[in-house]
Amino acid sequence: MSSSGFTFTRVKDQMIQQLLDMGISDFRVLDALSQVPRHIFLDQAFWSRAYENRALTIGYKQTISQPYIVARMTEHLISHTSKRGKVLNKVLEIGSGCGYQSAVLSHFANDVFAVERIKPLVSKSRENLSGLKIRNVIVKHADGFNGWEEDLKFDGIICAAAPRQYPEELLELLEIGGKLVIPVGLEGEQKLYVVTKKSEIANEEMIYEEVAFVPMLPGVSNGEV
């Protein structure tokens, strides 16, 4: 299959229509997903399935999330905004994998700070984003439980791995009004949580649909599985 953008136009349009049918209603999010070539983030053997609404392996027992959940989590993250373009200043992404969600987030934040615990995926993510000339994403090899490990505050945090309970420490990294979008729970029992920081002492917690993510693990890995 050719890497030409024209080759994927029809299946990409079908993906966007399916997301609409599944309830994704923010056209800013749909537009961002239509602009990000998902096949670039996959091995060529998976290109024929790149725009199906399913998670696909990226190696190291990790997957690229299905387009629906990428769209839904992004929609939650920016739902309190209405303008087009970069509506957030700084966003932290935990578990960036091969960089697909990072590329989508790059449309909505001035800067995306992406953390990935598996070293070869960090390299792959950087390569993918560089190939697309996305320059507002920084990818770091680090433990997601430690956040960015620098004195930064974020307007939003997205996590692509599921802890048993969301780390309260992550809420401390949010600006007032910022959101943490994170899957929570054991395998087979995960729900999508959206926690909004209302003040330094008060948070609003909303629980949404069932999801399925890899578990959030502590520490870093050089790629051993």
CA dihedral 152, 158, 163, 168 (to 10 degrees): 40
Task: Check the CA dihedral 44-136-18-9 and report its sign.
Answer: negative
Q: Which residues of 177-193 are buried (b: 16+ CB within 10 A; e: fewer)?
A: ebbbbbbbbeeeebebb
Strand segments (E) across 36-189: 56-59, 62-64, 88-94, 109-116, 137-141, 154-159, 174-184
Distance CA 28, CA 32 (A): 6
Q: Among residues 2, 25, 65, 82, which one is catalytic?
A: 65
Give the distance between the most distant pair of CA atoms in the chain: 53
Orientation angle between helical segments 27-35 and 5-21, nearest 10 degrees: 160
Orientation angle between helical segments 5-21 and 67-78, nearest 10 degrees: 60
Active site residue 65: yes
Distance CA 16, CA 162 (A): 26
Of residues 86, 92, 75, the one with CA closest to residue 33 = 75
| Residues acting as catalytic residues | 65
